[in-house]
Every structure is written in C-alpha cells, then in structure tokens.
Amino acid sequence: MSEVFHCERRVGFGEVDWARILYYPRFLHHCHLAFELFMEEALARPYASFLEADDLGFPTVHVETRYMRPIPYGSTLRMAVSVARMGRSSMDVRYVGCIDGGEPAASALVTNVLVRMSSFASLPMPAWVRKGLEMYLEADA
C-alpha cells in the first residue's frame, strides 16, 4: 500500500492577488515547499543536504496544473504529495491542495529529473533514493 505525505501551510497576504485569492503561480510555490518537506521525509535527511553534500537535485522539467476552486487569503492549504510515476532518472510527483480540510482546490503533476548539481547531467536514481521514494509510489503506477 502506498503512503501519501501531507503538510499544511496558511495562505499569506503576500501570496494573494487583487481578488484576495491565491495568485495562481503561487500554488506551484506551495508545491515546491511541500516537495522539500516530502524529500526530507522520504530520504531521512534535509533536502539541502541532498543538494549540497550529495551534489544531487531534482529540477522540474514539466508541470501540469488544475484549479478547481479559489483558495482564499488566510485559508490553510493542506498538501498531499505522492509519486505518480518513477522512471530511471525521473519521476512524476502529484500534489493535491485542499483548503481547510475540504475538497481539492488545486492539483499539479510535476516531472522532476535527477541531476548531478555540478553539471546538471541527468543520472539514474541511486538505490537509496529509489528506496526512499518507493513507499510513496501510487499503487497503480
């Protein structure tokens, strides 16, 4: 059975537009913040250590987003994070953002490729990285 990682963050004043709802590109910022926490949990180390000490990173190469309802200023955005697909050197990470414990308000599917940070050359996922991520791999992946 696959695990889903969850984290929460309140929508701040600096993240909303004139309509007082989350400015649409800011949802991707919430996704990235959730990604860093997710990776820390999956790999049992700070993501900064993964970048610096291991010289590895997962830059984004493709993004698909969907917005189902407005995300108002001051609401709590609960992010669910799972791995939709894992390839040799890339993965698709699924994000679903729910407001105040309700129905999904926005979702994203983000493709990340593992690279050596010093060269940005892609490389196969090491076994220890794959092992940490596999528990979050969606059952039908």
Q: Does residue 139 fall inside a structural domain?
A: no
Q: Does residue 124 fall inside a structural domain?
A: yes
Q: Does residue 17 fall inside a structural domain?
A: yes
Structure confidence at residue 100 as a pLDDT band (50, 70, 90): confident
Mean pLDDT of the chain: 96
The torsion angles phi and psi of 57, rounded to 5 degrees, stand at -155, 165
Contact 99, 27 (CB under 8 A): no
Can you list the positions of beta strands (E) in 1-141?
A: 5-10, 56-57, 60-67, 76-86, 90-99, 104-113, 115-116, 121-122
Could you tell me the residue range of the domain that residue 122 belongs to?
5-134
Q: What is the pLDDT of residue 2?
A: 87
Torsion, Cα 47 48 54 60, to 10 degrees, reads 60
Q: pLDDT digit string (tens) for 113-126?
A: 999 999 999 999 99
Q: What domain count does the chain have?
A: 1
Check whether 79 has a pLDDT greater than 70. Answer: yes
Cβ-Cβ contacts under 8 Å for 112 (sequence gap 6 or more): 35, 58, 59, 60, 61, 90, 91, 92, 93
Q: Does residue 127 fall inside a structural domain?
A: yes
Q: Does residue 120 fall inside a structural domain?
A: yes
Contact 108, 63 (CB under 8 A): yes
Structure confidence at residue 1 as a pLDDT band (50, 70, 90): low
Check whether 141 has a pLDDT greater than 80. Answer: no
Q: What is the pLDDT of residue 140?
A: 86
The percentage of residues in the chain with a pLDDT greater than 70, rounded to a whole number, is 99
What mean pLDDT do residues 72-89 have? 98
Q: What is the CATH number of the domain that holds 36?
A: 3.10.129.10
Query: What one-letter code names the amino acid at 79?
Result: M
